[in-house]
Amino acid sequence: MAVKLTLRQQQVLDIIRSEIQRTGFPPTRAEIAKALGFKSANAAEDHLKALARKGAIELTAGASRGIRLVDDDSPATDSLIAPLLQALQLPIIGHVAAGSPILAAEHIEREIGVESSLFSQTPDYLLRVRGLSMRDIGILEGDLLAVKKTADARNGQVVVARIGDDVTVKRLQINGKLVTLLPENPEFQPITIRPGDDFSLEGIAVGLIRTAPLH
């Protein structure tokens, strides 16, 4: 049964949905506050807690983007059939050899079944994250990044890109004809793509699966 939300709570929920559709990740409290003109992130936190109490979202303590939508509007499906309909078999891509396609057989560690409802869009594969360049948005070493194959991406999306022989995960910034790949960790430098560089987009991030235990 749908829970009645206040106008402001609905606005916060709409921003969460919009940001997940746009980038594959929920917004931070600061981003919500900025979008709605709040004076501080604390006001956004209060609305998030109210939405969580009403069952519209789930919150993960200690994570700046630890917000998960709870979809209670989908039609009921037979409890035995639903898991079969929602399950995806996705390959896990480990180390990618220089110059070869990401989905080449030698890169696939194994396949796992996952729920399609975990992702903002249907992914094509799970990429095992290496390094901590995206640490500040919660993408950590060893995580499985759900990736949808595409050569097109919008400004601000988290993408998988190939630069020469390297495959990297970064946030895409487009300013006119200038393309920059931004880390989410101040210890790493942005990567500017110059005319003539061997550069291509491999896909966009549509979700994340944490494999390491929480501490």
Q: Which residues are catalytic?
A: 133, 170
Cα 129 to Cα 167: distance, rounded to the nearest angstrom: 10
- Could you tell me the end-to-end alpha-carbon distance of the chain, in angstroms, rounded to an integer? 35
d(CA 120, CA 102): 21
Q: What is the 3-state secondary structure (H, E, C) of the chain?
A: CCCCCCHHHHHHHHHHHHHHHHHCCCCCHHHHHHHHCCCCHHHHHHHHHHHHHCCCEEECCCCCCCEEECCCCCCCCCCCCHHHHHEEEEEEECCCCCCCCCCCHHHEEEEEEEEHHHCCCCCCEEEECCCCCCHHHCCCCCCEEEEEECCCCCCCCEEEEEECCEEEEEEEEEECCEEEEECCCCCCCCEEECCCCCEEEEEEEEEEECCCCCC
